[in-house]
Amino acid sequence: MKTLQQALLLFMLAPLVKSAPPIQQESINIYDYETEDGQLFKQHFEDNPQGANVNKKTTAIIDILFQRDEGATKLPPSTNDVDLPTCLLCVCLSGSVYCEEMNIDTVPPLPKETAYFYARFNKIKKITAKDFEDFPTLKRIDLTGNQIEEIEDGAFSKLLILDQLILAENKLVKIPALPSKLTVFNANSNKIKSKGIKANAFKKLNNLSYLYLAENELESVPQNLPESLRILHLQANNITSITDDTFCKSNNTRYVREQMTQIRLEENPVILGKYPNSFTCLKSLPTGAYF
């Protein structure tokens, strides 16, 4: 009897109970918002919350699923913002900083441990005394292809272990004071005249091996070249004459410049054949016009 009463009660209540819609079973994919699929998936729920049958609570849950760990690495902002920290704007790797073709017009702040700095083909116009004052670890600076017209006094004075300084393809009219440990100095393709080089600019650079001053406006060979010099490029200048003391020592006929292996003087108006005593100390003759 009791069972019959329960069955009758269910029969009477059945019309009052609205059948629930069938539950659609879908596979669940967890997407990362930083990926393309994740962005499309998130946009689907944001733009079509009703069509997706997602209420506010569900949307919140989805956001939690997509939320990245706060400690995770974030993608760097656009490099169009020149005020960004240097290692977001440029590339920093094991003591090297690469800021090539970034349209920067000043030397950016560098990490303290920077040893090699490359900022080629930018729009830098001036090197100030403060740009490198706190970076004693610098060994190489390459500023090729900028618009540098001025270098303040002492700009490189604190770079005690700087080995290579590359200033080619700029607009320099004079050579700054150079660090004593320099082995390579390249100022090719500038506007440097002889008056822009002090008489003792290279004399105390006892490690200087490679000096590149081609395609400038020099009227004479720089004076007091160090004994350590091996390669000297002076082609395509306005050099008109050479003296017996330019490379050798007129008062010492036994003197030999042991290290010098290459001197390039082609594309200058000087006729080298007029100065036969100027090359007696050299192991090989300079390249250039002799007639």
More confident residue, 63 or 149: 149
Worst-scoring range by mean pLDDT, 77-91, 131-145, 190-204? Answer: 77-91
**The predicted structure's pLDDT at residue 212:** 98
Worst-scoring range by mean pLDDT, 33-42, 154-163, 253-262? Answer: 33-42
Rounded CA gap, 56 and 102, in Å?
Answer: 44
Rounded CA gap, 246 and 255, in Å?
Answer: 13
Which three-class secondary structure state does DSSP give residue 173?
A: coil
Q: Return the H-helix or E-strand segment holding 169.
A: none
Rounded CA gap, 226 and 265, in Å?
Answer: 18
**Whether 32 contacts 68, CB under 8 Å:** yes
Is domain 84-291 classified as CATH 3.20.20.70? no
Mean pLDDT over the full length of the chain: 80
Q: Model confidence over 232-264: pLDDT tens digits? A: 999 999 999 999 999 999 999 899 999 999 999
More confident residue, 66 or 146: 146
Q: Model confidence over 167-185: pLDDT tens digits? A: 999 999 999 999 999 999 9
**Whether 126 contacts 102, CB under 8 Å:** no
More confident residue, 85 or 157: 157
Q: Which contacts qualify for 198-204: CB closer than 8 Å, 24 or more apart?
A: 199/223, 199/224, 200/224, 201/175, 201/177, 202/178, 202/226, 202/229, 204/180
Rounded CA gap, 103 and 257, in Å?
Answer: 44
User: 68 falls in which pLDDT band (50, 70, 90)?
Assistant: very low
Checking if the pLDDT of 220 tops 80, the result is yes
Would the pTM count as exceeding 0.95? Answer: no
Instruction: Provide CB contacts within 8 A for 197, sequence distance 6+.
Output: 174, 175, 218, 222
CB atoms within 10 A of CB 194: 16
**The predicted structure's pLDDT at residue 279:** 95
**Whether 147 contacts 174, CB under 8 Å:** no
Checking if the pLDDT of 5 tops 90, the result is no
141-158 mean pLDDT: 97
Give me the DSSP letters along 48-87.
-TTTTT--HHHHHHHHHHHPPPTTSPPPP--TT-TTS-HH
- Domain ranges for the chain, please list them: 27-69, 84-291
Checking if the pLDDT of 13 tops 50, the result is no
